Amino acid sequence: MADMTVGIIGAGRIGQLHAEYIMSMSSIELKGICDIEIDHLKGSMMEKHVPVITTDPSILIEDEEMDAIFICSSTDTHCYYIEKCAQAGKHIFCEKPISFSLEETKAALRKVKEAGVHLQIGFNRRFDTHFSKVYEAVSAGKIGRPHIIKITSRDPEPPSEAYIQSSGGMFIDMTIHDFDMIRYLSSNEVESVSVVAANLVDPCFQKYDDVDTAIITLTFEDGSIGVIDNSRRAVYGYDQRIEVFGEKGVVMADNERESNVQIATKESVTLDHPKYFFLDRYKQAFYREIQAFARAIIDQTPVSCTGEDGLEAQRLAIATRLAWKENRTVLLSEIE
């Protein structure tokens, strides 16, 4: 009775999150979940409500009833599954980043194009209530032509050493969200990138040729400039703020706090902390990105965050890493 039937490849944290949200939507049926390991799903709501739970992805991809596949497996498998899904004529929702290699990404996007299927990349923040209002204000011309776009993006705590080792580095793993957001807010392409970066949070990052703290500056084709500041550890919570400053004003989105409660005593006046966990902070955004994807598939309209957006964010991550390594301004045109 649902309008659309989907499957999920990859039942890790993010795959399970998508599963939970899809199960709560009446218009989408979650028919199958696949992972190399499925024991951890025993006794879960998924086991109860999802007809097919399998370790064989082809069972989902080749299922005639499937309209779309959510690719939530590890990054190094994304392109393989994108191509398989495209060949099978399935629409695709793929987590970020698309891959660690531009060649792989471009090849996968070509297959998507040939197959004529939809591909949406999981840049959930575009669907955040606060950030989408900022986007709307900018689009509506409320602040005129943008001059400076600023993103503050700091994780509450660093990932595990194992994660760091295979993350591809902070720029591709974490900043990629900010690269997408800054392009989104700018409605313009980046021309060049520079960066100052440091290893201040944990020596572990240096061990894997990575950084944990950075300020990235960007120039856009329209002459405006952007800046992203990142840290792998903001002990006070997940710090996610954006600001677009322009000829006619400024629009800013502040953090979401745990609550709007204020306590004042002789000793202190306290507010609640910013939300700490990304699934809590972006809960609605994760929900809304799936809804937007479903709407696009059902209504046959373009998806709002395409494979090309994923590619561009990946190019920016690669350019930033190069800018860091060579301590110079890198033109985006150098990254092919």
For residues 129-168, which are near a copy of itself according to CB under 8 A? 129-130, 133-134, 137, 142-143, 145, 147-148, 150, 154
Binding residues for a copy of itself restricted to 3-22, rule: CB under 8 A: none
Binding residues for a copy of itself restricted to 223-242, rule: CB under 8 A: 223-227, 229, 231, 233-237, 239
- Residue 62 has which token pair? 């080749």
48 part of the interface to a copy of itself, by CB under 8 A? yes
Smallest gap from residue 236 Cβ to a copy of itself (A):
4
Closer residue to a copy of itself, CB minimum distance, 18 or 130: 130
Distant-in-sequence, close-in-space partners of 327: CB < 8 Å, separation ≥ 6? none
Q: Which of 187, 206, 327, 333 binds a copy of itself (CB under 8 A)?
A: 327
User: Total residues at the site for a copy of itself (CB under 8 A)?
Assistant: 75
53 part of the interface to a copy of itself, by CB under 8 A? no
Binding residues for a copy of itself restricted to 240-269, rule: CB under 8 A: 245, 247-266, 268-269
One-letter amino acid of 266: K
321 part of the interface to a copy of itself, by CB under 8 A? no
Binding residues for a copy of itself restricted to 163-222, rule: CB under 8 A: 192, 194, 196-201, 213-215, 217-219
- Residue 185 has which token pair? 């807010």
- C-alpha torsion angle, residues 94, 96, 98, 100 (rounded to 10): -150
Q: Give the integer Cα–Cα distance in Å for 10 and 60.
A: 12
Beta partners for residue 54, in sequence order: 34
The site string for a copy of itself over 59-98 (x = CB under 8 A, - otherwise) reads: ----------------------------------------
Phi, psi of 52 (to 5 degrees): -115, 120
Q: Give the integer Cα–Cα distance in Å for 104 and 283.
A: 30
275 part of the interface to a copy of itself, by CB under 8 A? no
Q: Give the integer Cα–Cα distance in Å for 249 and 322.
A: 34
Smallest gap from residue 213 Cβ to a copy of itself (A):
5
Smallest gap from residue 1 Cβ to a copy of itself (A):
6
- Asked if 81 and 75 count as a contact pair (C-beta separation under 8 A), the reply is no
Closer residue to a copy of itself, CB minimum distance, 36 or 200: 200
Strand 249-253 to strand 4-9: parallel, antiparallel, or no bridges (unpaired)?
Answer: unpaired
Q: What is the number of residues in the chain?
A: 336
45 part of the interface to a copy of itself, by CB under 8 A? yes
Beta partners for residue 239, in sequence order: 154
- Asked if 258 and 252 count as a contact pair (C-beta separation under 8 A), the reply is no
